[in-house]
Amino acid sequence: MGNATSSVAAKFAFFPPNPPTYDIYREEDGRLVFPGLMADMNVEMNLLDSKGGNKIVAMFWRHPLARFTLLYSHGNAADLGQMHELFIELRAHLRVNVMSYDYSGYGASTGKPSELNTYYDIEAVYNCLRSEYGIKQEDLILYGQSVGSGPTLHLASRLRTLRGVVLHSAILSGIRVLYPVKLTFWFDIFKNIDKIRNVSCPVLVIHGTNDEIVDWSHGRRLWELSKEKYEPLWVKGGGHCNLETYPDYIKHLRKFINAMEKVSLTIPQTTQLTSNTSFTEQVRRNKCLRFGK
């Protein structure tokens, strides 16, 4: 059954840029280097081992005054080489650290893309944030764009003291993007419609009213199902891959970040996921999602 699910996922959900838009290499001193990024950009490269046996590229964008860290899971048909300008903008305008990463089979990350591998990937990144950077759950905000909402809600449903979640052009499930089904089938992927019910922290939903790929109804329903609803942002006239170009996007995100400063958390947290817990032209060109029937 698991193999069949992965087969369905690979058929219509994953379109990594081919060839990748970047590569990484090691300097003689062992440092990982991302070509085109200067040292003064204050970004650190990581190559992480996932439970799936793959090497995952992760980039930590540090802000000196950051209160929170944003763990960003990007959309489909894109890799980190196309998105670093966005991360620089988010870091500057929101005053947060940003941890970005590529899924297995995307960019310079090894392996093949699958639903299960995206879950292993984000778990490896989360464990890195905990062990290497000392980031606590209560200082972490998960951000999932489009297909990235799948690994985001997978992790969010397992963390009890997470500060917040942002769902950007998110999907209810893979099959529901293609067909307006009312039942969740066993072979469906990224069953966000079920996992959102287990998220206990505030959830901000951002969706364009003219989204041509993932209908606005996906965002509305996810917001309705959220336990802790934050004021959503319905971008009037916004599509699937251009919401970052609207002024309200960064304004609303900043408002959300400020509101999270006032959230008090009292539930005990676990320290680590183990193997058993399972505004620029560059932004406009970002291919965040493709589905093939």
Per-residue confidence of the chain (293 residues) as pLDDT tens digits? 445 544 544 455 789 999 999 999 998 888 898 988 877 689 999 999 999 999 999 999 999 999 999 999 999 989 999 999 999 999 999 999 999 999 999 999 999 999 999 999 999 999 999 999 999 999 999 999 999 999 999 999 999 999 999 999 999 999 899 888 888 888 899 999 999 999 999 999 999 999 999 999 999 999 999 999 999 999 999 999 999 999 999 999 999 999 999 876 654 444 455 444 444 343 444 455 454 44
Q: Is 109 marked active-site?
A: no
What's the confidence (pLDDT) of residue 6?
Answer: 47
Map out the domains of the chain with their CATH numbers: 2-284 (3.40.50.1820)
Name the catalytic one among 211, 218, 226, 252.
211
Residues 6+ apart with CB under 8 A from 261: 67
Q: Do the beta carbons of residue 122 and residue 269 sit within 8 Å?
A: no
CA distance 274 to 146: 26
Name the catalytic one among 100, 114, 146, 149.
146
What's the confidence (pLDDT) of residue 2?
Answer: 47
What's the confidence (pLDDT) of residue 287?
Answer: 52
What's the confidence (pLDDT) of residue 244?
Answer: 96
Q: Is 240 marked active-site?
A: yes
pTM over 0.85: yes
What's the confidence (pLDDT) of residue 271?
Answer: 43
Strand ranges in 113-153 using DSSP code E only, listed in sequence order = 140-145
> How many Cβ atoms sit within 10 Å of the Cβ of residue 10?
15
Kindly give the pairing relationship between strand 228-229 and strand 202-208.
parallel
- Structural element, H or E, at residue 84: helix 84-94
Cα atoms found within 13 Å of the Cα of residue 104, Cβ hemisphere only: 23
Q: Do the beta carbons of residue 286 and residue 78 sit within 8 Å?
A: yes
CA distance 207 to 235: 6
- Structural element, H or E, at residue 92: helix 84-94
What are the C-alpha distances in Å from 229 to residues 152, 166, 216? 16, 11, 17
Name the catalytic one among 63, 74, 240, 252.
240
Helices (H) and strands (E) in the chain, counts: 9, 11
What's the confidence (pLDDT) of residue 79?
Answer: 97
**Strand, coil or helix: 26:** strand
